[in-house]
Amino acid sequence: MKQVQVQVPATSANCGPGFDCLGLALELYNVFTFVPDELATEYSYTFTGLGADLLEQEDPNNNLIGHAMDQVFAKAQEPIQYGHITSDTNIPPSRGLGSSSTAIVGGLLLANSLITNPLSKEELLIIANRMEGHPDNVCPAIYGNLCCAYGTKDKILNTVIPIPEELYFAVVVPEVLVSTEYARSVLPQHVPFKEAVHNVGFASLFVSSLITGQLDNLSVALDDNLHVPYRKTLIPHCDDVFSAAKGAGAYGATISGSGSTLIAYATKDKVEVVAKAMGDTFTNNNVENKIYVLKADSEGAKVV
Ligand code: HSE
């Protein structure tokens, strides 16, 4: 039996005002390879790339890739195929760039591909959403582009919207770990009605401006009242980095997913300067960081 290899894009969830429902895919990929072994009675793993040392220490029985593969075999009523999985990570783990979603979506795609793709993308999304808990990372990981997704555990409604060619992303990953669980625990139980109303405006403006190409609107449409004000306290110098991004010519900046990555939206001619200004702001405040200049991914996860 031959090996199967898939790549899954990084994702930036929330996109400012779209808490738990908006997410976009980026051209930065984790690659997962499966080599079937008919004699194996469990999955075995090799980890390379970013965070490999930490992944190696985790219990393989809890690995999301294997769990996701099991879900596909069960849903398709096919026998489980065990073998060796290689996970090569280029996406910084636990930084708000959807690294755990790539493991889930990677496992789903590997298994589906091994049994000649009986499950549709819609069915894979339902499984992924159930495993992840919210659809804003897994949906763009599967479909690429900007996704708006709303779902329950049995049903997901989603749209896929292409990102304008001229829009680029300055992504700055500080050496600050913020777990999604903790970043959700700092959110309030209630927000004032007026602030919620503003968010409806920001989110509607965000999506519609990407559709119409009115990118100047992003200077307002990336604002948020639901999570950014609470989570930015977990990321040192967050406001300074946002200001640096805008000062260098970005439309705006926000927290990627639950952080700690910060992401600025800018045109191609400005994005390098924006990324440098953001990185320098962290560096000048003694926060180590890594910067990326990325385009949106338009294909989503695929067999390579
Ligand atoms: N929407 C989720 C959150 C994404 O912000 O908590 C987590 O990656």
Take atom 1 of ligand 1 and give the residue whose Cα is closest: 20
CA–centroid distance, residue 179 to ligand 1 (Å)? 10
What sign does the CA torsion over 179, 184, 185, 188 have?
positive
Least confident of 150-154, 253-257, 285-289: 150-154
**Which tokens hold the place of 133?**
């808990």
The tens digit of pLDDT for each residue in 111-150 reads: 999 999 999 999 999 999 999 988 999 999 999 999 999 9
User: What pLDDT, on a 0 to 100 scale, did the predictor assign at position 152?
Assistant: 79
List the residue whose alpha carbon is closest to atom 6 of ligand 1: 258
Query: To the nearest whole number, what is the mean pLDDT of the chain?
Result: 96
Give me Rg for the CA atoms of the chain. Answer: 19
On the question of pLDDT at 154 being above 90, the answer is no
Name the DSSP letter for residue 13: E
Nearest to 24 by CA among 160, 218, 224, 165: 160
pLDDT at 39 over 90: yes
Compute the distance from residue 258 Cα to the ligand 1 centre, in Å. 5
pLDDT value at position 153?
73
DSSP string, 108-166: HHHHHHHTT--S-HHHHHHHHHHHHSSHHHHHHHHH-SEEEEEE-SS-EEEEEEPPPTT
- When pLDDT is cut at 50, 70 and 90, the band that residue 151 belongs to is confident
Going from the Cα of 82 to the center of ligand 1, the distance in angstroms, rounded, reads: 31
pLDDT (tens digit, 9 = 90+) per residue, 15-35? 999 999 999 999 999 999 999
Ligand 1 pocket, Cβ-based, cut-off 6 angstroms: 13-14, 19-20, 96, 134, 136-137, 180, 183-184, 227, 257-258
Q: Please give the distance, rounded to the nearest whole angstrom, from the Cα atom of residue 229 to the centre of ligand 1.
A: 14
197 alpha carbon – ligand 1 mean position (Å): 21
How high is the pLDDT of residue 3? 94
Shortest-distance atom of ligand 1 to CA 13: 4
Say how many Å lie between the CA of residue 15 and the centre of ligand 1.
Answer: 10
247 pLDDT tier (thresholds 50, 70, 90): very high
Q: Give the residue whose CA is nearest to atom 4 of ligand 1.
A: 257
CA separation, residue 113 to residues 1, 72, 73, 236, 301 (Å) = 13, 10, 11, 43, 12
Cβ atoms within 10 Å of 18's Cβ, excluding its own? 24
Interval 179-231: pLDDT, tens: 999 999 999 999 999 999 999 999 999 999 999 999 999 999 999 999 999 99
| Nearest atom of ligand 1 to the alpha carbon of 231 | 5
CA gap 234, 186 in Å, rounded: 9
Pairing of the two strands 146-151 and 156-161: antiparallel
* Residue 35 alpha carbon to ligand 1 centre in Å: 32
- Give me 204's structure tokens: 């509607």
The pLDDT confidence band at residue 161, using thresholds 50, 70 and 90, is very high
Q: When comparing pLDDT for 214 and 153, which is higher?
A: 214
What percent of the chain lies above the pLDDT cut of 70?
100
CB distance 161 to 207 below 8 Å: yes
Tokens describing residue 233: 């306290």
Bond prior to 260 in cis (omega within 30° of 0): yes
| Backbone φ, ψ for residue 56 (5° rounding) | -60, -30
Counting ligand 1 atoms within 8 A of each CB, the residue from 19, 101, 138, 263 with the most, and so the one to mutate, is 19
Q: With b meaning 16 or more CB within 10 Å and e meaning fewer, what string describes 166-186?
A: ebbbbbbbbebebebeebeee
275 Cα distance to chain centroid:
19
**Helices 99-114 and 64-75, axial angle in degrees (round to 10):** 40
Which residue type, as a one-letter code, is found at position 191? V
pLDDT given at position 36: 96
Length of the chain: 304
Specify the pLDDT at position 104. 98
Ligand 1 centroid vs 2 CA: distance in angstroms? 36
- Is residue 2 predicted with pLDDT exceeding 90? no
Mean pLDDT of 233-246: 98
Cβ within 8 Å of residue 241, ≥6 positions away: 172, 253, 262, 278, 281, 282
pLDDT of residue 1: 64
* Residue identifier of the C-alpha nearest atom 2 of ligand 1: 20
